[in-house]
């Protein structure tokens, strides 16, 4: 009887031990699959983030010509800088100025390109022009539209009437 019980006991122990090791292997395989899936998801999210930060429209980053014109005198010009906002699509910080004697125009704010012909600007455009209200500053605040009619070479501010009731042409040239 001892001869039968002892081999059965050994056989039972060997089967129970091998099942535990198989369970451990399965658990380790599941963990490694979860890790691999997590890595694939992270890579996919990075590629989606990269795609979402690419511009849909032309890249306007850099310095560009900025002009002011009115019927009272000839065009004056300066520069404006578009700084692309990292990780965002078609969004820029914008700043620039024009200075000519007593006359000046400054622009500072945020631009979102919404189509090949339209840019929405949110910020401030301040002008001090000697022939308008004796050089008193006039500020346009809020969201304004710049529109292009020549294929994106020039964008003109659509809020053209200044505080004195005269038409101004404020343009960005690319």
State whether 105 and 159 are in the same domain: yes
State whether 45 and 89 are in the same domain: no
Query: Of the residues 32, 53, 74, which one is the last residue of a structural domain?
Result: 53
pTM: 0.71
Domains in the chain: how many in total? 2
Q: What is the pLDDT of residues 83-96, one digit of tens each?
A: 999 989 999 999 99
> Could you tell me which residues come within 8 angstroms of residue 156 by beta carbon, excluding any fewer than 6 positions away?
146, 147, 148, 149, 169, 170, 171
Q: What is the pLDDT of residues 36-76, one digit of tens each?
A: 666 566 566 666 666 666 888 999 999 999 999 998 888 99
Quick check: 153 and 171 in contact, CB under 8 A? no
State whether 158 and 88 are in the same domain: yes
């Amino acid at each position: 009887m001892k001869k039968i019980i002892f081999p059965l006991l050994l056989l039972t122990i060997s089967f129970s031990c091998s099942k535990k090791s198989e369970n451990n292997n399965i658990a380790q395989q599941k963990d490694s699959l979860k890790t691999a899936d997590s890595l694939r998801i992270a890579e996919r999210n990075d590629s989606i983030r990269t795609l979402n930060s690419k511009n849909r429209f032309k890249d306007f980053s850099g310095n560009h010509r900025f002009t002011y014109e009115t019927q009272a005198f000839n065009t004056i010009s300066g520069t404006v800088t578009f700084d692309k906002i990292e990780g965002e699509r078609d969004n820029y910080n914008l700043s620039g100025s024009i200075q000519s004697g007593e006359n000046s125009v400054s622009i500072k704010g945020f631009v979102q390109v919404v189509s090949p012909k339209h840019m929405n600007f949110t910020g401030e455009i301040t002008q001090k022009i000697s022939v308008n209200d004796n050089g008193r500053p006039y500020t346009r605040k809020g969201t304004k539209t710049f529109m292009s009619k020549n294929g994106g070479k020039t964008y003109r501010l659509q809020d053209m009437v200044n505080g004195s009731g005269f038409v101004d042409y404020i343009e960005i040239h690319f």
